[in-house]
Amino acid sequence: MKLVVVGLGQCGGRIADEFARLNKRARGLRGLDIITGAYAVNTDLADLSGLHTIRSDFSQRIVIGKKKTGGHGVGKINELGAEIAREDSDMVIETIRNTEHFADTDAFLLIASAGGGTGSGAVPVMTQQIKERYVDKPVYNLIVLPFEHEVITEDRTIYNVATCLKSSYLVADAIFLVDNQRYVMKDSSLTHNLAKINTTIAQPFFNLLCAGEEKKQRFIGAKILDAGDIIQTLVGWTTLGHGRSQTPMFKSLFGGNRNFREKASETQKGTHALDEAISGLSIRCNPLDSKRALYLISAPAREINVDLIKELGTYIKNMAPEAIIRSGDYPREKGNMEVTVILSEMSDVEKVRNYFTKAINLISELKKRQEGVVTTQRGIDITIKDIPSLL
């Protein structure tokens, strides 16, 4: 599957940069292209210059709203981010359309944080505009939810998250929810942490996108997972995860005959990798609430057997009994056994629901406060009228 990836705002841009790196890896290691174009769009010039892999000319790092913000961002006001995106979306879409391999694109992936201003406001607007222009291509969002400390200390964050999620949900074909808090590692600095988090966010997409693009016979699975399967799986609120199980250093010392013990150990490795993928899902959720699921197993060809596929299928079926499950295998030459999992069309995600509830409370509180402010102002106004003015 080939994506056009558009990162909006600082967080979105950095993760899009990570996807650009993913494509470099796919090219270098596998001779495949999985990204037809990677772009970073921002109101903030300095943020754009901090990227590494997205080409540094203005056709891939796109500045919007320069007149309104002077190139300094929108300072968390996501209404302004939305307004700027509406004004400049034609220019952004035109730039994307001019990419050399644009015609090969299967879908769009727009990435942003929900808690900031530029990305949070621009992501639903850009999604809507792209959908209007390209009715036959799905448009997905990957939305990053803030760390807990950001929510506690700043009410605006709650408001931004709720308005961004609601608006994106109305227009995007599916939304990958990524919760920063799930990736917190206590022992490292925040910058290092963010870079690490971004790598972890992009990683599950690597095999997922490569599998359907393989041309070499020996890497083509018994059941290929291609763009069609992925598109059919992705609807509404979505989460994904990736797990890996180490391949033992000392493989069968006694030639090629694979006995039942080895098969059993492969099944065990598979379930271990699947466990890891589920426990590391990008947002906490109840798999019972998902209506669609997908899993991809990537492993050395000799380790992929029927028992393993069956075992993983049963595991997911028990976990998400209401879901339509799609699956595939991706034989590799060597390396670990890896499992990628997607749960989609989630009817409930507690964290999202909580954001909506908190925002509603916040808005009514704000209204009350504003009314309070109006009365005090009126009080001052009354006393002020007897004071002489110098103007």
Ligand X SMILES: Nc1nc2c(ncn2[C@@H]2O[C@H](COP(=O)(O)OP(=O)(O)OP(=O)(O)O)[C@@H](O)[C@H]2O)c(=O)[nH]1
* Interface with Mg ion (CB under 5 A): 10, 44, 73
CA–CA separation, 130 and 92 (whole Å): 10
DSSP 280: T
Contacts of 133 (CB under 8 A, 6+ apart): 93
Q: Any contact of residue 146 with ligand X (CB under 6 A)?
A: yes
Give the residue with the Cβ less far from ligand X, 64 or 296.
64
For helices 9-30 and 190-202, what crossing angle results, to 10°?
A: 50
Give the residue with the Cβ less far from ligand X, 44 or 345.
44
What b-and-e string marks burial along 129-139, b requiring 16 or more CB atoms within 10 Å of the CB?
Answer: bbbeebeeebb
DSSP 385: T
For ligand X, the binding residue among 19, 140, 147, 205 (CB under 6 A) is 147
Judged by beta carbon distances under 5 to 8 A according to partner kind, the member of Mg ion, ligand X, none in contact with residue 105 is none
For ligand X, the binding residue among 11, 142, 320, 339 (CB under 6 A) is 11
Stretch that binds ligand X, among 21-29, 40-48, 332-340, 357-365 (CB under 6 A): 40-48
For ligand X, the binding residue among 89, 180, 238, 267 (CB under 6 A) is 180
CA–CA separation, 188 and 178 (whole Å): 20
Q: Any contact of residue 197 with ligand X (CB under 6 A)?
A: yes
Q: Any contact of residue 150 with ligand X (CB under 6 A)?
A: yes
Number of residues that bind ligand X (CB under 6 A): 26
Give the residue with the Cβ less far from ligand X, 66 or 101.
66
Give the residue with the Cβ less far from ligand X, 183 or 295.
183
CA–CA separation, 230 and 105 (whole Å): 14
Stretch that binds ligand X, among 140-148, 253-261, 268-276, 292-300 (CB under 6 A): 140-148
Judged by beta carbon distances under 5 to 8 A according to partner kind, the member of Mg ion, ligand X, none in contact with residue 180 is ligand X
Site string for ligand X, 51-80 (x = CB under 6 A): ----------------------xxxx----
Handedness of CA 366, 80, 154, 159 (dihedral sign): positive
- How much is the CA Rg of the chain, to the nearest whole Å? 24
Judged by beta carbon distances under 5 to 8 A according to partner kind, the member of ligand X, Mg ion, none in contact with residue 327 is none
Q: Are 143 and 177 in contact (CB under 8 A)?
A: yes
Interface positions, 277-336, toward ligand X (CB under 6 A): none
For ligand X, the binding residue among 2, 14, 182, 244 (CB under 6 A) is 14
What are the angstrom distances between the C-alpha of 4 and each of 23, 100, 116, 371?
A: 11, 12, 23, 46
Three-state SS letters, 228-241: HHHHHHCCEEEEEE
Nearest to 325 by CA among 267, 266, 274: 274
Q: Any contact of residue 116 with ligand X (CB under 6 A)?
A: yes
Give the residue with the Cβ less far from ligand X, 198 or 203.
198
Give the residue with the Cβ less far from ligand X, 84 or 312.
84
